[in-house]
Amino acid sequence: MSSTHHDVLRPGSARGGARPRTDRGQRPRRSRFAGRQPIGLAFVSPYLLYLAAIFLYPLGFAVWISFHDYFFAAPGAQVDRPFVGFANYTSVLTDPDVWRSFGNIAVFLVINVPLTVAASLVLATALNSKLRARTFFRTAYYVPYITASVAVVGVWLFLFNSNGLVNKALGPLAPDPSWLVNSHLAMPTIALFVAWKQLGFFIVLYLSALQNVPGELYESAALDGAGKARMFWSITVPAVRTATLLVLVLATVTGANLFTEPYLLTSGGGPDGATTSPVLLMYQRGLQQGHPDEAAAIGVILVVLITGISLVYRRWLERD
């Protein structure tokens, strides 16, 4: 490194003057370049190498695949994979199955996201009070979240099949065809399942936001004669707006990642493709049918859409 730059800067500069005394001599010069504890770089380097190999490189590779004619070849074989521009994107975007899967996920999000936000905020508000069994309730709500999807899918299959407990309890009101084999009800049932499974996490998120709402706000509102509902809408809801944005974005991203539930609950996206999610389609197209280039294009489109939706949420919540 060049030391002249530092020598010129140091004497007169305000920054140099404000620095502690130890900043003088041979050591500080190295420290200005490498930092005061350059060993820190050694501490983070395994993690940085890992990120480069497992995230950054595959991220770029995904985009690269989506612009090339990519196919699986025998390991070590030299094959030509020509650049094809937007060809993968056009073939994906003219495919009705792809549109169907995006429509399916839209149905999922329209049901799942508002349900998640409303239920987790209401339950978190109820939990955020003096309550004898508070820990019991919080634990109860969190248990589905820490349990494997595959395990709880087993119970839901048992509960919601044609002869399951839910239909037996509903008696003549039971839908026909039953929940998971009914093309109108299958996706809403999956949306309900995911909301139920994830709710505990979002409740904890809202609980920590509620801890930061100053109690005086409620006290002065009570003095002004505001009712509980009024307080909820004009104090609680605006005060946890940042948490709401996080819940909206995370619930949407979780929904866009949907794979296990349609794969198992509705045996691979049935009935008649009514629950095929984009990620399930990526698996079928990319890995089962051997078109990783089209699958990568679906992935890129999905991520662009999710980013767009997240920006809309942000504008909407920061509007006033």
Question: Which residues lie across from 83 on neighbouring strands?
Answer: 68
- Sequence-distant (6+) residues with CB within 8 A of 307 are none
Residue 8, class by beta-carbon neighbours within 10 Å (0-12 exposed, 13-18 middle, 19+ buried)?
exposed
Contact with other proteins (CB under 8 A) among 210, 248, 251, 309: 210
Closest separation between CB of residue 11 and other proteins, Å?
A: 23
Q: Is 287 in the site for other proteins (CB under 8 A)?
A: yes
Q: Is 189 in the site for other proteins (CB under 8 A)?
A: no
Mapped to the 3 state alphabet, what secondary structure does the chain carry?
CCCHHHHHHCCCCHHHHHCCHHHCCHHHHHHHHHCCCCHHHHHHHHHHHHHHHHHHHHHHHHHHHHCECCCCCCCCCCCCCCECCCHHHHHHHCCHHHHHHHHHHHHHHHHHHHHHHHHHHHHHHHHCCCCCCHHHHHHHHHHHHHCCHHHHHHHHHHHHCCCCHHHHHHHHHCCCCCHHHCCCCHHHHHHHHHHHHHHHHHHHHHHHHHHCCCHHHHHHHHHCCCCHHHHHHHHHHHHCHHHHHHHHHHHHHHHHCCCHHHHHCCCCCCCCCCCCCHHHHHHHHHHHCCCHHHHHHHHHHHHHHHHHHHHHHHHHHCCC
Q: Is 137 in the site for other proteins (CB under 8 A)?
A: yes
Closest separation between CB of residue 319 and other proteins, Å?
A: 23
**According to CB under 8 A, which residues from 43 to 82 bind other proteins?**
43-44, 46-48, 50-51, 54-59, 61-62, 65, 72, 75
Q: What tokens appear for 266 in the block?
A: 């509705």
Contact with other proteins (CB under 8 A) among 11, 15, 18, 130: 130
Contact with other proteins (CB under 8 A) among 35, 85, 177, 290: 35
Of the two residues 187 and 302, which places its CB atom closer to other proteins in the complex? 302
Closest separation between CB of residue 97 and other proteins, Å?
A: 17
Q: Is 99 in the site for other proteins (CB under 8 A)?
A: no
Of the two residues 9 and 165, which places its CB atom closer to other proteins in the complex? 165
String marking each residue 218-247 x if it binds other proteins according to CB under 8 A: xx--x-----x--xx--xx-----------
Contact with other proteins (CB under 8 A) among 102, 107, 174, 259: 259
Q: Is 295 in the site for other proteins (CB under 8 A)?
A: yes
Closest separation between CB of residue 181 and other proteins, Å?
A: 13
Of the two residues 184 and 227, which places its CB atom closer to other proteins in the complex? 227
Q: Is 279 in the site for other proteins (CB under 8 A)?
A: yes
Determine the size of the site formed for other proteins (CB under 8 A): 106
CB 160 within 8 A of CB 81: no
Q: Is 24 in the site for other proteins (CB under 8 A)?
A: no
Q: Is 140 in the site for other proteins (CB under 8 A)?
A: yes
Contact with other proteins (CB under 8 A) among 41, 106, 118, 311: 41
Of the two residues 44 and 184, which places its CB atom closer to other proteins in the complex? 44
String marking each residue 148-177 x if it binds other proteins according to CB under 8 A: xxxxxxxxxxxx-x-xxx--xx--------
